[in-house]
Amino acid sequence: MPTLIVLRHAKAVTGLGLPDSDRTLADRGRRDAAATGDWLRAHDLVPDRALVSTAARTRETFALLDLKTPVSYEPTLYDNDPDVVLDLARQADDAVGTLLVVGHNPSMHQVVHDLTAEAPQEFPTCALAVIDLPAPWTDLRRGAGTLTTYRTPRSA
């Protein structure tokens, strides 16, 4: 059965004077993203496919994971709508066993809650949730997933 990995982008700079979508990662964010990639590889959770928001901080987070995973940069993920995230996941090919979504809060936190009904209280930058799903991507529905891992940079 499929596995969905939900990842909030790593810590970004405040970006005074920059458009929000152009904000890049802070030093801490770069360290956290690289450590998250190390953790994913160590736990044999390298995804088959990734969906990443087009914002600079999400693209940089994904690059620093260093996973060698095929990626689609999805402008609609920047809109921060949990229904869009679920719709994109439903479109995943059946050959994709593990799908990674890198996006923004509050939608990343909400997706974890919607799928598992047991989301953690907080979903800070570079928080990661691993959700096992009981049916193919096309049958993705609220409440059907099981949260198997919740990881934050501070819990590492």
Mean pLDDT across the chain? 96
pLDDT in tens, 52-70: 999 999 999 999 999 999 9
13, pLDDT greater than 90: yes
Using pLDDT thresholds of 50, 70 and 90, give the confidence band for residue 7. Answer: very high
Q: How far apart are CA 156 and CA 98, in angstroms?
A: 22
Gyration radius from the chain CA atoms? 14
Q: How far is CA 55 from the centre of its chain?
A: 13
Is residue 48 within 8 A of residue 95, CB to CB? The reply is yes
pLDDT of residue 156: 63
91, pLDDT greater than 70: yes
> Which pairing describes strands 128-132 and 146-151: parallel, antiparallel, or unpaired?
antiparallel
